[in-house]
């Protein structure tokens, strides 16, 4: 069983860096314009998308996993929120150019063709639109065997540092942009207890699945051993508004 399947079966809605507490903090620090048209890429079970919709934004969420989209739709129905959820790939967003005011991403870009995904975020943003992308980052050098173990577990080619992310965001065309962090991963259970997910949907039988708990234990071991080297950043980028051509 892979990491992403484990998240899907447990219906975890806040596996991204910093958890849901960081989502709430981000949206308070960077409040979105009223009634923004928002795209969440890699929406998972829809927790962030529904939270943004409850604040009055027009939200669309996409995820590459049908099981995640099914749970996201069930969440929106339970919360009575008008969120559109669709199956979609971050590297080939199924939307026309300049469709959204805001693109939200939480620990998705690192799991795919990052350069292509960033170009897609840029493409679907309107002029003046903004990207908020929170991603895992390597904060310091680490033993090659530790790096390789994490990369294999997540199914990624390498762990990027802040300079890597800076180069990719710049290459995608975002101007201006800045990076908040890197921040260490939070420790303890305070953030989870303060933001309990009342709409988490766990697949039947999952709590007794040995394979699932093996993946969970491996995740805890790897992250615990490498905590001093890992953290997360928030990429904040804008799409330039193109001035109208002279008459």
* Active site residue ranges: 106
Task: Determine contact, residues 33/101, Cβ cutoff 8 Å.
Answer: yes
Q: What angle do CA 93, 98, 103 make, to 5 degrees?
A: 60
Q: Give the closest residue to 133 by CA, choosing from 97, 168, 108.
A: 108
Phi, psi torsion values for 52, nearest 5 degrees: -65, -40
DSSP string, 52-88: HHHTT-EEEEEES-HHHHHHHHHHHHHHT---EEEE-
C-alpha to C-alpha distance for 85 and 63, rounded to whole angstroms: 8
C-alpha to C-alpha distance for 104 and 229, rounded to whole angstroms: 25
With tokens 């892979």, the residue in question is: 2
**Tokens representing 199?**
């709409």
The CA-atom distances, in angstroms, between 238 and each of 47, 140, 176, 178, 242 are: 24, 28, 6, 9, 12
Report the run of H or E that residue 123 belongs to, with start and end. helix 114-124
């Amino acid at each position: 069983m892979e990491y992403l399947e484990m998240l899907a079966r447990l219906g975890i809605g806040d596996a991204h860096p910093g958890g849901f507490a960081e989502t709430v903090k981000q949206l308070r620090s960077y409040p979105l314009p009223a009634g923004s048209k928002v795209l969440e890429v890699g929406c998972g079970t829809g927790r962030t998308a529904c939270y943004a919709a409850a604040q009055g934004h027009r939200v669309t969420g996409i995820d590459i996993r049908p099981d995640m989209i099914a749970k996201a739709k069930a969440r929106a129905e339970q919360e009575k929120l008008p969120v559109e959820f669709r199956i979609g790939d971050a590297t080939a967003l199924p939307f026309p150019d300049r469709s959204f005011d805001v693109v939200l991403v939480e620990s998705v870009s690192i799991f795919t063709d990052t350069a292509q995904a960033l170009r897609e975020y840029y493409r679907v943003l309107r002029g003046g639109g903004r990207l908020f992308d929170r991603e895992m980052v390597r904060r310091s050098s680490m033993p090659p065997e530790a790096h390789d173990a994490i990369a294999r577990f997540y199914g990624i080619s390498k762990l990027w540092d802040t300079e890597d992310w800076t180069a990719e965001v710049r290459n995608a065309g975002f101007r201006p942009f800045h990076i908040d962090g890197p921040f260490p991963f939070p420790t303890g259970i305070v953030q989870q207890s303060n933001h309990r997910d009342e709409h988490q949907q766990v697949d039947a039988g999952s709590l007794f699945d040995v394979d699932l708990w093996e993946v969970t234990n491996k995740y805890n071991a790897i992250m615990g051993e490498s905590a001093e080297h890992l953290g997360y950043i928030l990429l904040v980028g804008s799409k330039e508004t193109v001035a109208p051509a002279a008459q």
